[in-house]
Amino acid sequence: MTYRIIRSRRKTLGLEVTADGVTVRAPMRVSAAEIDRFVNQHSGWIEKNLRKIEEQKAAAKAAPLTADELKDLAKRAAETIPERARLYAQKIGVTYGRITIRNQRTKWGSCSSKGNLSFNCLLMLTPPEVVDSVVVHELCHLKEMNHSARFYAEVLRAFPEYHRWNRWLKENGGVIMARMRGEENGKI
């Protein structure tokens, strides 16, 4: 792994990952071998942050969705998501109020204290398993309005693959959300 070293009067080793690369900040007297060991010990963290930066670069290049594309996604979501919600609500043993489809820049779904559910139309750009994971997540809030261990136990009982697909969304969702540039948030 390539990195640049900046030496100073500091007392500890430090790492910085930016679009320009990896920088190690080191005390004056620390050896090159010690710096190498430090970088190798933190290679997982470095690679994770380099991936995030690449994701952000890809997101910046992503073509913004047009109004027609958003309408199409909303239509597909309105056909797909209520059906998935009905299926999983029976499995979980909950009832819900309204389902709203929105085009949002930051949220994939939400559950109100009144039992109404809201989902992002951009879910239609993800694998079906991701849609199910978000639907199950929001439905489980009808039992547990928090993110406690009990909440996640409910989620995993209904959708055992939840962590896998939630990780997919965390790794790929930023690029999808970035396509909302230029469009206003709100109801469709």
CA distance linking residue 33 with residue 77, whole number of Å = 55
Coarse DSSP helix, strand, coil percentages of the chain, rounded to the nearest 5 percent: 55, 15, 30
Q: At what angle do helices 32-41 and 43-61 cross, to 10 degrees?
A: 60
pTM of the complete model: 0.70
What is the pLDDT at residue 184? Answer: 39
Report all structural domains of the chain as residue ranges with CATH numbers, in order of start.
4-61 (no CATH), 67-187 (3.30.2010.10)
More confident call, 95 vs 188: 95
59-93 pLDDT, tens digit per residue, is 667 788 999 999 999 999 999 999 999 999 999 99
Contact (Cβ atoms closer than 8 angstroms) between residue 144 and residue 152: no
Residue 182: band (very low, low, confident or very high) from pLDDT cuts 50, 70, 90 = very low
Contact (Cβ atoms closer than 8 angstroms) between residue 119 and residue 77: yes
What is the pLDDT at residue 64? Answer: 87
Strand order in the sheet with 109-111: 109-111, 117-120, 99-103, 186-187
Mean pLDDT of the chain: 91
CA distance linking residue 3 with residue 24, whole number of Å = 7
DSSP character string of 9-41: S-SS-EEEEETTEEEEEEETT--HHHHHHHHHH
Residue 27: band (very low, low, confident or very high) from pLDDT cuts 50, 70, 90 = very high
CA distance linking residue 60 with residue 69, whole number of Å = 19
What is the pLDDT at residue 60? Answer: 67
Above pLDDT 70, what percent of the chain?
A: 95
- Among residues 180, 174, 172, 175, the alpha carbon closest in space to that of 64 is found at 180
> Is 185's pLDDT higher than 80?
no
96-146 pLDDT, tens digit per residue, is 999 999 998 889 999 999 999 999 999 999 999 999 999 999 999 999 999
